[in-house]
């Protein structure tokens, strides 16, 4: 006769990482110089800002549509060899093959412009090539019931405590910025020569079933003034978004991903001394709670046959976030700059090596600083790139844990003193650590009485490699407690290969009716 067992389950929501990858794509296009501007002799510097306005998920393929708002600073082919600027938008559409991707999965993307190259085709035409690195993370979300208790004292169970990062909730919101970025009142802006936009000072606040995601939009402008000067300024405007997640608490772990979907930037009237910025940002939030669950991994009943379905789920546990600041203070000799004024500097971070050793994570990399400066010896403006290596050690990182590293430039101060550059940079590093675990899930449990076994017997067994008392007891229809008692075993977790042990067997005699869950 078959019986259905009464059990206790706990539901967890698993955010299973299906795959992570990086994809590099090239975006190319040509730009015709407007009639109102002089011919190009040579390009000096190029900057760009990327937007992804559409993401389409299909079986095995991800399609993204976006554009790059590009600014080109160039040396004009005129009598004064003046410095002028161009701007254009490069549209792109790319289909990326991801065999594991299925409709309904969640895809997180993070695009970064690696470089923009410009080539003068002729005096009125420029070829542009941009390389984009897109970080992609594909996740599948599913609710799983884990068996935590069997309400039958005769059933032998093998269980383990698991710390699981269970997905409490997630949400998406869109935040909009429509602001004027002020420039100094003595600057009458004629045209923008360069522009970079970054989200900095990211933070979250949790209260009343809501998560407040906030950051600042940092806009770095290089522009030409009416009186022929090339100068720069930095403006910041706040960006906030609210995401509703029920039962969220301050000790929950939140993962925030920002995706810029649209950028418009243009000068206002000269007398307003400002630049108009319009921006749309999608904010994705995932919130996790740590759950301690006693998961039953295996079971049997002496004298009866227990049937169940077993499958394994891969997920993460012990997800933690740590923030540190790497202070870079470097002196660099660049005699070619001389006393030239630094107009602008941009900084890119590259992580070259990660090494875990004795509970520490050692990060090695370099910051690449691109400097635009006034050069009175040649064309009036020039560029220089310097690379500064750094190393940062983070304490209390488990060697077996996976790590995800995000960097953000904080304070930056690049000062020129007669060709001696003082580079003072605070590199904010956020490290997310987690452990990949496999959880067995047991379903459809039933018992079936076995009729062809002896009422009681004892056999002698010789321990083999990889044996455990659980495996032996289950195989011969005994219990760990009985084997330990009969053999006087002091350490049940340690048995020796070749050791002889006595195994009592018996058939459970009981009358019962089928029990429904």
Question: Which residues have C-beta within 8 Å of that of residue 89, sequence separation ≥ 6?
Answer: 67, 68, 69, 70
Tell me the C-alpha to C-alpha distance, in Å, between residue 52 and each of 45, 56, 108, 268, 443: 24, 11, 12, 26, 43
pLDDT at 513: 41
pLDDT at 507: 56
pLDDT at 440: 84
Question: Which residues have C-beta within 8 Å of that of residue 264, sequence separation ≥ 6?
Answer: 276, 277, 278, 279
pLDDT band for position 3 (cuts 50, 70, 90): low
pLDDT at 517: 30
- Pairwise CA distance, residues 306 & 447, whole Å: 4
pLDDT at 514: 36
pLDDT at 378: 65
> Which neighbouring-strand residues pair with 172?
284
Are residues 345 and 370 in contact, defined by beta-carbon separation less than 8 angstroms? yes
Residues 64-89, mean pLDDT to the nearest whole number:
92
- Pairwise CA distance, residues 99 & 76, whole Å: 49
Residues 9-21, mean pLDDT to the nearest whole number:
87
**Coil, helix or strand at residue 269:** coil
Residues 63-73, mean pLDDT to the nearest whole number:
96
Q: Please report the beta strands in 123-155, taking only residues with DSSP state E, as ranges in sequence order.
A: 125-150
Percentage of the chain beyond pLDDT 90 is: 59
Task: With residue 470 as reference, give the H or E element that holds it.
Answer: helix 469-475
| pLDDT tens-digit map of 419-458 | 999 999 999 999 989 888 888 888 888 877 655 544 557 8
Q: How far apart are the first and last CA of the chain?
A: 17
- Pairwise CA distance, residues 345 & 384, whole Å: 9
- Pairwise CA distance, residues 381 & 80, whole Å: 13
Are residues 230 and 85 in contact, defined by beta-carbon separation less than 8 angstroms? no
- Pairwise CA distance, residues 7 & 147, whole Å: 7
pLDDT at 43: 93
pLDDT at 211: 94
- Which of the pair, 6 or 391, is modelled with greater confidence? 391
Residues 186-214, mean pLDDT to the nearest whole number:
92
- Mean pLDDT of the residues in the chain: 89
pLDDT at 208: 84
Q: Does the structure show a pLDDT above 60 at 515?
A: no
- Pairwise CA distance, residues 296 & 355, whole Å: 35
- Pairwise CA distance, residues 3 & 17, whole Å: 37
- Pairwise CA distance, residues 4 & 508, whole Å: 16
Distance of CA 180 to the CA centre of its chain: 31
Residues 266-290, mean pLDDT to the nearest whole number:
94
- Torsion sign across C-alpha atoms 218, 222, 224, 226: positive
Question: Which residues have C-beta within 8 Å of that of residue 478, sequence separation ≥ 6?
Answer: 302, 472, 503, 504, 505, 506
pLDDT at 313: 83
Residues 110-122, mean pLDDT to the nearest whole number:
94
- According to DSSP, residue 483 is labeled H
Q: Does the structure show a pLDDT above 80 at 257?
A: yes
**Coil, helix or strand at residue 473:** helix
pLDDT band for position 2 (cuts 50, 70, 90): low
- Pairwise CA distance, residues 164 & 156, whole Å: 24
- According to DSSP, residue 301 is labeled B
Q: Which residue has tokens 């991994």? A: 297
Lowest mean pLDDT among 152-161, 308-317, 405-414, 446-455: 446-455
Using alpha carbons only, give the angle 311, 313, 316 rounded to the nearest 5 degrees: 160
The token duo for 281 is 């940002």
Percentage of the chain beyond pLDDT 70 is: 95
Residues 484-503, mean pLDDT to the nearest whole number:
90
Q: Which residue has tokens 């002698």? A: 460
The token duo for 107 is 């895809």
Distance of CA 92 to the CA centre of its chain: 24
What residue spans in the chain does CATH classification 3.10.350.10 cover? 454-506
Residues 201-216, mean pLDDT to the nearest whole number:
91
Name which of 35, 37, 28 is nearest 86 in CA terms: 37
Using alpha carbons only, give the angle 117, 123, 126 rounded to the nearest 5 degrees: 25
Residues 293-302, mean pLDDT to the nearest whole number:
88
- Pairwise CA distance, residues 489 & 473, whole Å: 14
Q: Which residue has tokens 């206790």? A: 8
Q: Which residue has tokens 């040579």? A: 42
pLDDT at 94: 95
pLDDT at 451: 55
Are residues 350 and 366 in contact, defined by beta-carbon separation less than 8 angstroms? yes
Question: Which residues have C-beta within 8 Å of that of residue 210, sequence separation ≥ 6?
Answer: 242, 243, 244, 245, 248
- Pairwise CA distance, residues 471 & 317, whole Å: 27
Quickly name the fold that domain 454-506 has: Membrane-bound Lytic Murein Transglycosylase D; Chain A (3.10.350)
Instruction: Specify whether the backbone of 186 is left (phi greater than 0), alpha (psi in -120 to 50) or beta.
Output: alpha
Q: Please report the beta strands in 226-302, taking only residues with DSSP state E, as ranges in sequence order.
A: 230-244, 253-267, 274-300
The token duo for 5 is 């067992």
**Phi and psi of 246, rounded to 5°?**
-65, 140
The token duo for 216 is 């600042």
Q: Does the structure show a pLDDT above 80 at 511?
A: no
Lowest mean pLDDT among 85-99, 296-310, 319-333, 363-377: 296-310
Q: What is the widest separation between alpha-carbon atoms in the chain? A: 109
């Amino acid at each position: 006769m078959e019986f259905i067992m009464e059990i206790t389950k706990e539901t967890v929501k698993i955010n299973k990482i299906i795959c992570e990858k990086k994809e590099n794509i090239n975006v190319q296009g040509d730009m015709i110089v407007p009639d109102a501007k002089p011919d190009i002799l040579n390009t000096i510097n190029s900057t760009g800002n990327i937007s992804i306005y559409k993401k389409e998920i299909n079986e095995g393929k991800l399609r993204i549509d976006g554009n790059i708002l590009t600014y080109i600073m160039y040396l004009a082919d005129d009598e004064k060899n003046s410095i002028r600027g161009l701007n254009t938008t490069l549209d792109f559409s790319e289909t990326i093959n991801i065999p594991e991707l299925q409709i309904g999965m969640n895809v997180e993307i993070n695009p970064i412009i690696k470089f923009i190259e410009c080539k003068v085709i002729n005096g009125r035409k420029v070829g542009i090539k941009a390389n984009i690195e897109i970080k992609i993370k594909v996740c599948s979300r599913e609710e799983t019931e884990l068996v935590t208790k069997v309400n039958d004292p005769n059933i032998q169970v093998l269980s383990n405590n698991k710390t699981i990062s269970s997905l409490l909730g997630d949400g998406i919101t869109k935040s909009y910025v429509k602001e004027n970025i002020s420039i100094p009142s003595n600057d009458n802006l004629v045209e923008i020569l360069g522009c970079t936009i970054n989200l900095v000072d990211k933070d979250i606040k949790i209260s009343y079933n809501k998560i407040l995601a906030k950051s600042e939009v940092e806009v770095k402008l290089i522009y030409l003034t009416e009186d022929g000067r090339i100068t720069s300024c930095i403006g910041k405007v706040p960006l906030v978004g609210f995401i509703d997640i029920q039962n969220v608490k301050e000790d929950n772990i939140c993962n925030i991903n920002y995706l810029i979907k649209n950028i418009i930037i243009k000068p206002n009237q000269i007398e307003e001394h400002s630049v108009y910025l319009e921006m749309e940002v999608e904010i994705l939030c995932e919130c996790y709670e740590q759950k301690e669950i006693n998961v039953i991994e295996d079971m049997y009943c002496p004298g009866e046959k227990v049937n169940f379905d077993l499958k394994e789920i891969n997920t993460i546990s012990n997800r933690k976030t740590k923030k540190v600041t790497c202070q870079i203070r470097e002196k660099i000799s660049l005699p070619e700059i001389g006393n030239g004024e630094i107009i602008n500097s941009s900084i890119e971070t590259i992580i070259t090596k990660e090494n875990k050793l004795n509970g520490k994570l050692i990060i090695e990399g370099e910051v690449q600083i691109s400097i635009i400066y006034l050069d009175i010896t040649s064309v009036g403006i020039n560029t220089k790139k310097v690379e500064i290596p750094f190393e940062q050690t983070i304490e209390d990182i488990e060697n077996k844990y996976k790590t995800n590293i995000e960097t953000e430039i904080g304070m930056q101060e690049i000062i020129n003193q007669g060709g001696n550059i003082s580079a003072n940079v605070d590199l904010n590093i956020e490290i997310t650590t987690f452990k990949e675990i496999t959880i067995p899930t047991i379903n459809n449990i039933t018992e079936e009485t076995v009729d062809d076994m002896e009422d009681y017997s004892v056999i002698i067994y010789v321990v083999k490699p990889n044996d455990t008392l659980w495996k032996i007891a289950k195989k011969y229809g005994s219990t760990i407690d009985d084997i330990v008692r009969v053999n006087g075993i002091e350490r049940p977790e340690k048995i020796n290969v070749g050791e002889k042990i006595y195994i009592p067997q018996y058939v459970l005699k009981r009358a019962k009716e089928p029990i429904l869950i």
